[in-house]
Amino acid sequence: MDRYTPNFVWKGANALLDYGLIIESELPEIVAKPRYNEITVIGSNRVLNEWFGDYEPFDLKIKDVSVSYERLPEVKRWLSGQSELITHNNVNVYVNAVCNINNEVEYVNEWGTFYSFEITFRCEPLKRKVNEPFINLNKGENTVINHGDEVSQPLIEIHSNGGDIEINCGKNTLTILDTNAGLLSLDNEMAVCTQDGRIQRTKGSWIKMLPGKNKIMITGNIASIRMKIRSVFF
């Protein structure tokens, strides 16, 4: 995408090139806000704020959109459901979103030639890297850099030779118990470990990576191990 032309990719399709959408207004850049729990202290003028590390979802509104009269039906079908959204002003990251879920969309007929309308995407608060690759790790100590803005919860794939496998990163240590020989998938974001389609028993705390440099220690009888950091960005 040309970063100077308002545009976006949704469901893998380019709004301008694939559907002929013309966007006359610049797309906004929105930073998610932390989700604070405000506590009023009775008898005091102070207010306490609790934060558990999470952020509020947000609405990304794309205004002044127009499409030719003939293409409106297919555009309606395309702008629905949920998918990854990439905008022209930041093509290296995407955000998981749902399109027009809370809003009625008014399509204005302009002289029977084209329709103008507004699109609203309800977005998860943090963005993710497009096509993020896996990186290979070694048994023992590894140094891995999380280039994101917040804590990430990596996806780890392990070819086990059997037995217990332990992974440590900072304050978090997770032991995968009594594995069989073969491929394991450890999804720290979903808090689940599977092997051969079955849930694999674990103990300890799920792995989290702070922004910046992280030391990861791996012990156990493994053939190989790789990780997708899943860096997240404001």
Mean pLDDT along residues 167-191: 97
Over the chain, what is the mean pLDDT? 93
The tens digit of pLDDT for each residue in 108-133 reads 777 778 888 999 999 999 999 999 99
Which residue, 146, 162, 166, is CA-closest to 154? 146
**CB burial class (10 A; 0-12, 13-18, 19+) of residue 3?**
exposed
Q: How confident is the model at residue 181 (pLDDT cuts 50, 70, 90)?
A: very high
Q: How confident is the model at residue 105 (pLDDT cuts 50, 70, 90)?
A: low
The answer to whether residue 3 scores a pLDDT higher than 90 is no
CATH architecture of 135-233: Sandwich (2.60)
CA distance 11 to 53: 29
Residue 178 has pLDDT above 70, yes or no: yes
Tokens 């963005």 map to which residue? 127
pLDDT tens for 13-57 read 999 999 999 999 999 998 888 988 888 878 877 888 888 888 999
**pLDDT tens-digit readout, 70-91:** 898 899 999 999 999 999 999 9
DSSP letters of 160-200? EEEEEEEEEETTEEEEEEEEEEEEEEEETTTTEEEETTEEP
pLDDT of residue 153 exceeding 60, the answer is yes
Amino acid at 176: I
Q: Tokens 């027009």 sit at which residue?
A: 100
Q: Is the dihedral of CA 92, 230, 150, 40 positive or negative?
A: positive
Of the pLDDT bands very low, low, confident and very high (cuts 50, 70, 90), residue 222 is very high
Q: Name the pLDDT band for 94 (thresholds 50, 70, 90).
A: very high
pLDDT at 104: 60
- In one-letter notation, the amino acid at residue 177 is L
Class of domain 8-129: mainly beta
3-state secondary structure 24-50: CCCCCCCCCCEEEEEEECCCCCCEEEE
pLDDT value at residue 100: 78
Q: Please check whether residue 138 is in contact with residue 147, taking contact to mean a CB–CB distance below 8 angstroms.
A: no
What is residue 170's predicted lDDT score, i.e. its pLDDT?
95
Domain ranges of the chain: 8-129, 135-233
Taking residues 138-158, what's their average pLDDT?
97
User: What pLDDT was estimated at residue 103?
Assistant: 59
